Amino acid sequence: MSFRLEPVPSFRGLLLVRTRSRKRTSPAHALLSPRCTWTCSVGLNRIAARSSSGPRAWTSRGSCRGYSAAAGPPTAAPDEDVKLACRSNGEISLNIFKPPVGEHPTPPVILYLPTVAPADQVFGARDDEIVAALSAASNATIVRVNYRLGGDLQYPIPVHDVLAGYDYVKNRFAIDTCVARAARPKKTHLRMGVCGQLVGGSLAAMLALTESRLGEDGIAAAAVNSPVVDWVFPEHVSSEHNTTTAETQASGHTIQKASPRRRKRKAGRPSWDMFGHAAGLTTKQLELARSAYFRKPENYFDPFATPIHYLRSAGVNVPADRTVEPDELAALDGAPKPRKSLRKFPPSNSSLVLPHVRLSVGDANPLLDQNEEFVKLLRRSVVRTAQSRATTQAMLDRFDDIAAATEAERLQMAVETAEEKVEYHILRGVGLWATARDGEWLEEVWNVGRWFRKILG
């Protein structure tokens, strides 16, 4: 693998990344309204600006690297190609890219899931350039899992492909890690990262929620950009968009709609409607993709396809099959409509834990609302887990005559933990990587690579 990175004294233009800021009256309100500041990147330095009364921004800081405008984005050939038999049928290919600089005996491993399957380039992202930039920024081993999707290959085939690729990488690199660290008596675990956008981001989110377990090899960090975390798209613009659940209201911490200082839109108007014709990603493209990727509507209600359903219910009935008799459809019309209800995740009797998550999305992206909701639910899950542990520790402290923190203090600490563990970044425009001939997405992928370095070591 050979390509040349050319640092330049100043990056082309300014990159304005927005993270959120709004007034809050309680720590719970702070958690459930993802917040950010404007981050301005000029040249090789990053400066995070915020008002004196505004909240802290959980954004990566430090040096960044640009690419020469003349040379353009780098690309790289894989160091190794692997053919892997899948659980369902057929086989997939894995492309393995070794770290550019061999500075670590056991470099981190990051799974990259392409924007869409290689045979179905619906959204036009240049994944080769994303992989090259991610490899240079993270100095990690990148494994691109070329899952199958499109044509006769529909869900759940890509889920099976990604899980097969994940199992292969876990088994192979766990052995390498044991060999490299044989002299150490301490037990170590393979901590992997996963990265993707759109369909690849959806599969990456699924993998992060199902393959991160306490004390085991697995996913420790997930960076996703504009993931499709909810294939149940809004069929009608209604008041259902701003509905709060009875369960949340009863807990005293109502999930409120975050209103960052982003592109102005009418109050209550969803991003699906407001930015449905955005250049680079339209609701028509997403609807056509859903029709092509799923054989039946019930298939995209599966949490493996729609990761947000691990955290809440769908809130709508599964569309009826065309084969259902008219009398049965009439009976269903009179049934009460379901409401969105929160789900306890990870389950209390499970070894699942939430990994570190970095989610980014454009401020003019039709998926903005569902991505924002996903962040809220992830942070809520972190807070619930942290409060549970704090309550247990407080009970032990009473036996040791140690002063326990007040409920408000414990909640505040839990909120800070959630904001640190689940980062949320608002980009300019649609915000997709490698879909335009400009350098802004390169800067963002570079930040993602540095974030992986920080989390995975």
pLDDT of the residue at 111? 98
Hey, which of 6-10, 178-182, 302-306 has the most confident mean pLDDT?
A: 302-306
pLDDT of the residue at 235? 67
Report the percentage of the chain scoring pLDDT > 90: 47
The CA–CA distances, whole Å, from 152 to 50, 120, 157, 158, 292 equal 50, 11, 10, 12, 9
pTM over 0.85: no
* Sequence-ordered list of residues with C-beta below 8 angstroms from that of 383, at least 6 positions apart, any chain: 28, 31, 411, 414, 415, 417, 418
Q: How confident is the model at residue 174 (pLDDT cuts 50, 70, 90)?
A: confident
Q: Tokens 């990994």 correspond to what residue?
A: 355
Is residue 184 over pLDDT 70?
A: no
Residue 90 neighbours by CB distance under 10 Å = 10
Helix axes 407-421, 368-399, angle to 10 degrees: 140
Q: Judge contact between 271 and 367, C-beta under 8 A.
A: yes
Is residue 86 over pLDDT 80?
A: yes
Q: Judge contact between 410 and 399, C-beta under 8 A.
A: no
Write phi, then psi, for 415 (nearest 5 degrees).
-65, -45
> Hey, CA dihedral for 413, 414, 420, 423, is it positive or negative?
negative
- Specify the pairing of strand 191-197 against strand 218-225: parallel
**Residue 54 per-residue DSSP state:** S
175/156 Cα distance (integer angstroms): 29
Q: What's the mean pLDDT in 30-52?
A: 36
Give the fold, CATH level 3, of 80-234+338-397+405-456. Answer: Rossmann fold (3.40.50)
- Residue with the bigger pLDDT between 255 and 279: it is 279
Q: Judge contact between 93 and 146, C-beta under 8 A.
A: yes
Beta strands in 117-179 (DSSP E): 141-146
- Specify the pairing of strand 356-362 against strand 218-225: parallel
197 residue type, one letter: Q
At residue 49, the 3 state secondary structure works out as strand
Is residue 74 over pLDDT 80?
A: no
Q: How confident is the model at residue 83 (pLDDT cuts 50, 70, 90)?
A: very high
- Residue with the bigger pLDDT between 106 and 351: it is 351
pLDDT of the residue at 413? 85
pLDDT of the residue at 369? 97
Is residue 15 over pLDDT 70?
A: no
